[in-house]
Amino acid sequence: MNVYVIGGGASGLVSAITAAKKGCKVTILEKNPKCGKKLLITGNGHCNYWNENQTLDKYHTSNPKSFTPIYNLAKDKVLNFFKELGIIPKIKNGYYYPASNQAISILNALLNLAKYYQVKILYEQEVLSIKKNSKFLIKTLNNSYEADKVIIATGSIASIKDAKTTGYDLATSLGHTIIPPLPALVQLKSDDTICKELKGTRCDINLSLYEKNLSIKEETGELLFTEYGVSGICILNLSRYISLGLSENKNYTLKINFLPWLQEDIYSFLTKQSLKLPYYNISNILDGMLNYKISNALLQKCHIKPNVKLEELDKQKLSLLGEYLTNYPLNITGTKTYLDAQVCLGGIPLTEINPNTMESKLIKGLYFTGEILDVDGDCGGYNLGFAWMSGLIAGQNISKEGSK
């Protein structure tokens, strides 16, 4: 069986290898001069390829019932596949990295296994169109190819600068619909001047996302202030909700607890510290609790002079300081663009594919894997997790006649 895989990223390589193991003749058409461009930059080049905390709530889609069979079919097969690759994991807080701590180790292992199973890879072959008659006719700028079956594994438009034709274009030309893609796992913009004042400052915080007065979701982790707003893993995990809400003209506020370790009322704690340290002014007290840049910025926001002692503060300023320390309201004005996003939400609805095979319900012999589908995951190896899972399912089933 002659199978063509469009895209040599994570899911494309896994689906190609798995199909070749099943006896298919497999060719990958890759638009870039090399495979795995995005794979090499994941995890800041260290490639966080899996997470031992595999739960359904780490993955997001408009059709969760359609995702569950994919998850149940493949989640226990991924680590066995990586054993076959010869990847020794380094596990840190549940995050899986290659022991080499280099993404290139994962890519080289995939390419070596693809070569072993005689997967042919053609580079600089951006696919411009796919048509289906008795077989699939695939056209690139300079070539045409004929396939019995096709896997589209082009990914989303996240981080893509110059694509002539996207996977979305190919899918819609074949009759599929697209849930409009939006940036996910992306940095957030704010018009609060505190962001510029604190740019480059990192802190461990608890975050609550609010739409008007309604709490939507909470995250705990490291926050990074930037020139334009905020970043950090906890921000990236909240960004999909904000990206989707902003597209519906909703307004969002992040409330920051700079003292997530504090187990008692902030005012009682400050009073105890002041009594314990009578020679300390308010700035000295705060410097013992959090980054001095943050404490200074918050004091300025409250119009409190740093050399004032706690007992000299009026109730209004003390109340505002306590609120800002544990519930600072940060107005969100937008997200960074697709070019900055790690992934996108949206894509081909899961209702248009068979979740047991990854085959299109509209066109026999057409399969989809990875980020082109309407699935996005949290930070921590989940998006690559879906790439591996969907690629394994597609590759295992594409060799079967009448797989629908």
SS3 for 172-189, per residue?
A: HHCCCCCEEEEEECCCEE
In sequence order, the 6+-apart residues with CB closer than 8 A to the CB of 1 are 23, 24, 25, 148, 149, 398, 399
pLDDT of amino acid 174: 97
Residue whose entry in the numeric block shows the structure tokens 């510290």: 273
Q: Residues near 79 by Cβ (< 8 Å), separated by ≥ 6? A: 50
> Distance (Å, rounded) from C-alpha 253 to C-alpha 37?
35
pLDDT the model gives residue 106 = 97
Residue range 353-367, pLDDT digits in tens: 999 999 999 999 999
Please, what is the angle between helix 292-301 and helix 315-327, to 10°? 130
The dihedral over CA atoms of 328, 43, 357, 395, expressed in degrees to the nearest 10, equals 170
Contact (CB, 8 A) for 385 and 33:
no
Percent of the chain with pLDDT strictly greater than 90: 94
| Prediction pTM value | 0.93
- In the chain, CATH 3.50.50.60 covers 2-183+337-397
164 alpha-carbon distance from chain centroid: 24
What mean pLDDT value characterizes the chain? Answer: 95
| Helix 78-85, helix 103-116: angle, nearest 10 | 80
Q: CA neighbours within 13 Å on the CB side: how many for 134?
A: 0
CA distances (Å), origin 336, targets 77, 158, 245: 35, 11, 14
The predicted pLDDT at position 163 comes to: 61
* Rounded (10°) angle between helices 78-85 and 382-397: 90
pLDDT value at residue 159: 83
Q: Are 256 and 290 in contact (CB under 8 A)?
A: no
Among residues 129, 235, 247, 130, which one has the least CA distance to residue 181? 247
CATH superfamily of 2-183+337-397: FAD/NAD(P)-binding domain (3.50.50.60)
Q: Is the pLDDT of residue 403 over 50?
A: no
* pLDDT at 162 (0 to 100): 67
pLDDT higher than 90, residue 48: yes
Say yes or no to pLDDT of 404 above 60.
Answer: no
Is the pLDDT confidence value at 399 over 90? no
pLDDT at 247: 95
The pLDDT of residue 402 is 47
Q: Write the pLDDT tens digit of every residue in 161-203.
A: 766 679 999 999 999 999 999 999 999 999 999 999 999 999 9
CA distance 343 to 186: 8
pLDDT attached to residue 401: 63
Predicted pLDDT of residue 160: 78
